[in-house]
Amino acid sequence: MTEIYFYHLQSQPLERVLPALLEKSLERGWRVVVQTASEERVEALDAHLWTFRDDSFLPHGTHKQPEANDQPILLTVNDDNPNKADVRFLIDGVPVPQDASPYQRIVLLFDGDDEDAVAAARTRWSEAKEKGLDVTYWQPDAQGRWVKKA
């Protein structure tokens, strides 16, 4: 069954949290798709993932590139799964796919300082629970480590 993780971003921005989660996904041997709500965000993440840390490399590409299907990490605005991803990251309020079955895990990241984002996450949580999906809620502790809260 697909797991859906809700990550409540509070003291750390998406640009710090997402690369670390992508690294962990690749360490598990998973292929990844990151779905955003805008082309501008795709472009910004594409640039950021090349430079986020000097000692790290996250192999990735965007849905606009001809070799998109071959990318271990694919950044997109679309709801398809061209690289046969095992895990799907949803940011900027992107909804959970109607069919979650192709994924081992779906990770919904939302900004805890944005009331609209929190409200949207609550709605997505309720929808996932109604579908009988396995949902968990994660929040950072005082040291910034992720703790399962629900």
- Domain residue limits, the chain: 3-148
Q: 89-145: per-residue pLDDT in tens?
A: 999 999 999 888 999 999 999 999 999 999 999 999 999 998 888 999 999 888 888
Query: What separation in angstroms does the CA of 47 have from each of 44, 51, 58, 67, 137?
Result: 5, 7, 11, 18, 29
For 88, other C-beta atoms within 10 Å of its C-beta total: 26
Give pTM, 2 decimals: 0.94
Cα–Cα distance between 2 and 17 in angstroms, integer? 22
Q: 55-101: per-residue pLDDT in tens?
A: 878 999 999 998 999 999 999 999 999 999 999 999 999 999 988 89
Q: 1-36: per-residue pLDDT in tens?
A: 889 999 999 888 999 999 999 999 999 999 999 999
- Are the C-beta atoms of 25 and 32 separated by less than 8 Å? yes
User: Which CATH class name applies to 3-148?
Assistant: alpha beta
- Are the C-beta atoms of 19 and 52 separated by less than 8 Å? yes
